[in-house]
Amino acid sequence: MEGISTLLKRRLQKYCLFFFLCYTDSKLILNADMTETLLNLQNHLEKSKRGKHITAAKIENSELIVEVAAQEIPGFLKFLRDDKSCCFKQLMSVCGVDYPEREKRFEVVYCLLSLEHNLRIIVKTHADEQTIVPTVTGIFSSAGWFEREVWDMFGIPFAGHPDLRRILTDYGFEGHPLRKDFPLTGQVEVRYDIEQRKVVYEPVTLTQEFRNFDYMSPWEGTKYVLPGDEKATKG
C-alpha cells in the first residue's frame, strides 16, 4: 500500500506541474498579445490628431497609461470615445491622488473601458491647488458624481460642472479628507444633542489616548503583564 500511495503521489505531482506549466505558458502568450495590442494603440494615439497633446505614455501592469495636460482632457477623452480604433465608451471612474512633494501635487486619473476592443486605458493629468480641470460631464454623464467626489475629497475644482458640491461629507465640512495634510483626527466632531434636538459641531475630543498596538498573537500571549492580570499572580 505504501508503494501505491507513493506512486499516486508522484503522478499527482507530475499532473500539477504539467497544468502549472500550461497555465504559465498561456498567461505569457496572453500577456505578450496584450502588450502588442497596447503598443499598437499607443502608436495610433501618438500619430493621431490628438497625439501632440500627449506628454507621456507607458505600458505598466498590462495597461496603457497616458498623461495629458489638464486643458486638453475633454478633447482627448472625446477622441477616445469616438475614434473607431479606440471606442472607449465607458468611463469607469475618476479619482484623485495627492503627492504633496510635487510642484503640481494632484493627479486626476480617468479609467476608461472599450467593450468593443476589450481594452482599458488610464488617462492622467496633473494639477495644483490653483488649477481648474475642465469637466467631462458633457462627454460621459457618469463623470458627474465622480468629479463631485474628487472635489469633495481633494478640493480639485472642475470648470463647467453643472452641480459641483460635496457628495460624501456634510455641508459644513471643513477641508478635504484625502489630502495628505488633512489632520487624522479631523477638524471637528459631530454628534446629536438631545437638549438642542439637532446635530452640533464641536472641537475634537479624544476619549482615550492613542494606543500603541504590538500585534502580538493572543494565543501565544504577551511578553508583559496586561492590566488586571496582576491579580491572578497574587497569592
Inform me whether the pLDDT recorded for 30 exceeds 70.
Answer: no
Strands 133-134, 158-159: pairing is parallel
- The model's pLDDT over 143-152, given as tens digits with 9 standing for 90+, comes to 999 999 999 9
Query: What pLDDT is attached to residue 210?
Result: 60
pLDDT level of residue 29 (50, 70, 90 thresholds): very low
- The model's pLDDT over 147-204, given as tens digits with 9 standing for 90+, comes to 999 999 999 999 999 999 999 988 778 889 999 999 888 888 888 999 999 988 888 8
User: What does the domain layout of the chain look like in residue ranges?
Assistant: 9-176
Q: What are phi and psi of 114, to 5 degrees?
A: -115, 105
225 half-sphere exposure, CB direction, 13 A CA radius: 8
Distance CA 181, CA 64 (A): 31
Q: What is the mean pLDDT of residues 206-230?
A: 65
Q: In CATH, which superfamily holds the domain spanning 9-176?
A: NADH:ubiquinone oxidoreductase Nqo5 subunit (3.30.460.80)
Distance CA 134, CA 130 (A): 13
- The model's pLDDT over 1-10, given as tens digits with 9 standing for 90+, comes to 455 566 666 6
pLDDT level of residue 80 (50, 70, 90 thresholds): very high
Give the three cell numbers for residue 213. Answer: 498596538
Strands 63-68, 90-98: pairing is unpaired
Q: Output the CA–CA distances (angstroms, integers) from residue 213 to 162, 186, 208, 216, in the order listed.
A: 46, 22, 14, 8
To 5 degrees, how large is the angle CA 126–CA 104–CA 173? 90
- DSSP lists the bridge partners of residue 192 as 199
8-state DSSP, 90: E
Cα–Cα nearest to 70, from 136, 127, 138, 130: 127
To 5 degrees, how large is the angle CA 157–CA 158–CA 163? 100
Q: What are phi and psi of 57, to 5 degrees?
A: -155, 140
Query: What pLDDT is attached to residue 35?
Result: 84
> Which helix (H) or strand (E) segment is 124 a member of?
strand 119-127
Strands 106-114, 90-98: pairing is antiparallel
Query: What pLDDT is attached to residue 27?
Result: 46
Radius of gyration of the chain (CA): 27
The percentage of the chain sitting over the pLDDT mark of 90, rounded to a whole number, equals 56
Inform me whether the pLDDT recorded for 214 exceeds 70.
Answer: no
Mean of all residue pLDDT scores within the chain: 84
Report for 70-84, 171-185, 208-222: range of highest mean pLDDT: 70-84
Q: Output the CA–CA distances (angstroms, integers) from residue 173 to 168, 191, 207, in the order listed.
A: 10, 13, 22
- The model's pLDDT over 51-71, given as tens digits with 9 standing for 90+, comes to 999 999 999 888 899 999 999
Query: What pLDDT is attached to residue 172?
Result: 76
pLDDT: which is higher, 191 or 217: 191
Strands 133-134, 54-60: pairing is unpaired
